Amino acid sequence: MGHSLGPPGRGPSGSFYHTVSGTHFSVRSSPGHMTQRMERDGLASQYSIAYSVGSGAHAVSYLIEVGNHLFESPLSYYAQFGWGISPGYENLKAPDFYRAVRPQCLFCHVGEALPIPGTLNAYRNPAFAAEAITCERCHGPTTAHLRNPVPGSIINPANLAPRARDSVCEQCHLGGEVPVPNPGKQVS
């Protein structure tokens, strides 16, 4: 889970054409830096990527920072087929860098986001107290365990009652409006 959020350079340079919108996307990538450019109807815009989201085992999505606001890129990199449109942008006639990244969107992808209260998608500087998902997400507070690492000094989800155990995983893996498990994977 330590690879859930990282530097922007995860994904090769390349391009993608979104036929629904007639948008041409191009990507320039180097270690630690990435820019994504989009062109549609004779207009172009380009953004530097601030963060990559996902380990890359299946896909990587990208976040841009405008001032202290985070937005999701309409372009993702998929391990199976390369560059493609990000989930939720597939049928849009004008995919753009306007999807606000809310704290609840980040809960399953980062250790601790630092949102500015009362805003939709504004974050402190830095935006994250912990980029990687830490042990505490599934095992609870770790202070006692770090002082004395013995059984019982931390929550072991395998030792919980089935409902409690499942709820630990479900905080991310079955979140959203409609729970959809990954094909071929068992949830419990």
| Integer Cα distance of 113 and 128 in angstroms | 4
Summarised one tens digit per residue, pLDDT across range 71-107 is 999 999 999 999 999 999 999 999 999 999 999 989 9
Q: Which pLDDT score is estimated for 178?
A: 46
Summarised one tens digit per residue, pLDDT across range 7-55 is 887 789 999 999 999 999 999 998 889 999 999 999 999 999 999 998 8
Signed CA dihedral, 115, 118, 120, 125: sign only: negative
Q: pLDDT band for position 179 (50/70/90)?
A: very low
